[in-house]
Amino acid sequence: MRRHWQQRETMMLEVSSLNAYYGKSHILRGVEFNVQEGEIVSLLGRNGVGRSTTVKSIIGEVSPVGSIKFKGEEIVGRPSFEIAQRGLGYVPENREVFPTLTVRQNLMLGMKSGQSNPRWNMSEIFEMFPNLAERADVPGGVLSGGEQQMLSMCRTLMGDPDMIMIDEPTEGLAPKVVEQVSRLLEKIASRGVAILLVEQKLNVAIRISHRLYVMGHGKIVYEGTPASLKQADDIRSEWLEV
């Protein structure tokens, strides 16, 4: 169950007047939102409205115009590796598991040098996900889609991020695996790690999020709590439902 959310003072991410382009196409049009410490925030919307472009802009894979502050520091224009080193993790939609490396080796690649007292370690990861433990020495490329999703998320956790952005983590997964992913997201947030979740399944987002933003035509068209979105029939009908 989603825990009661109380306002915190620590702002992890502040996005203001964010614009992004693919060639001459204007994709993001003045996007604004924020994420606080330990908060799960979902970015909802139909395919093609700019959700993935938003997270790619934040991590530096797309060159945006505007302001993106992570832990109070402007990160627009910084390279992706530097943004990650500052404590912002990213799990892309295509998972990007290294297929020829074992599960254990994939997890080790997520570790940062010089880490002290990280929130997560390999033993705990394997305890949380016995399936990964059983396949620790199996190449990542032979894992199921659900196992690859877990591996990709856990590899990012091994870098001990202060915030993690996850693009469509439940896409194509069986209901049982979706439930595992949801529990992991709640556990991540319980340790003070902020989460920006790009999610297509409205029921998942409503169940685990503290706040939600809805995107349409490259901009934020709605902000609210899960309870308020449940009551906003017009918003769901116009911007979310097929």
DSSP string, the chain: -PPPP---S-EEEEEEEEEEEETTEEEEEEEEEEEETT-EEEEE--TTSSHHHHHHHHHTSS--EEEEEETTEE-TT--HHHHHHTTEEEE-TT----TTSBHHHHHHHTPPTT--S-S--HHHHHHH-HHHHHTTTSBGGGS-HHHHHHHHHHHHHTT--SEEEEESTTTT--HHHHHHHHHHHHHHHHTT-EEEEE-S-HHHHHHH-SEEEEEETTEEEEEE-HHHHHH-HHHIIIII--
Please state which of the ranges 73-77, 100-104, 131-135 shows the lowest mean pLDDT.
131-135
Q: Higher confidence at residue 137 or residue 1?
A: 137
pLDDT exceeds cutoff 80 at 231? yes
- Secondary structure of 124-173 in HEC code, one letter for each residue: HHHHHCHHHHHCCCCEHHHCCHHHHHHHHHHHHHCCCCCEEEEECCCCCC
Region 36-54: mean pLDDT is 95
% of the chain at pLDDT higher than 70:
95
% of the chain at pLDDT higher than 90:
73
* Residue range 205-215, pLDDT digits in tens: 999 999 999 99
pTM here is 0.91
Q: Higher confidence at residue 117 or residue 28?
A: 28
54 contact partners, CB below 8 Å, separation of at least 6: 15, 18, 20, 28, 31, 43, 198, 215
Residue 9 pLDDT grade (very low, low, confident, very high; cuts 50, 70, 90): low
Region 43-64: mean pLDDT is 96
Beta bridge partners of 61: none
**Per-residue pLDDT, 3:** 44
**Per-residue pLDDT, 5:** 46
* Residue range 176-202, pLDDT digits in tens: 888 888 988 998 899 889 999 999 889
pLDDT exceeds cutoff 60 at 8? no
- How far, in Å, CA of 48 to CA of 148, rounded? 24
Please state which of the ranges 42-46, 125-129, 153-157, 237-241 shows the lowest mean pLDDT.
125-129
Could you tell me the CA-to-CA distances from 104 to 112, 126, 132, 155 in Å, in that order? 15, 10, 9, 9
Mean pLDDT of the chain: 91
pLDDT exceeds cutoff 90 at 173? no
For the chain, list the domains and their CATH numbers.
Answer: 11-240 (3.40.50.300)
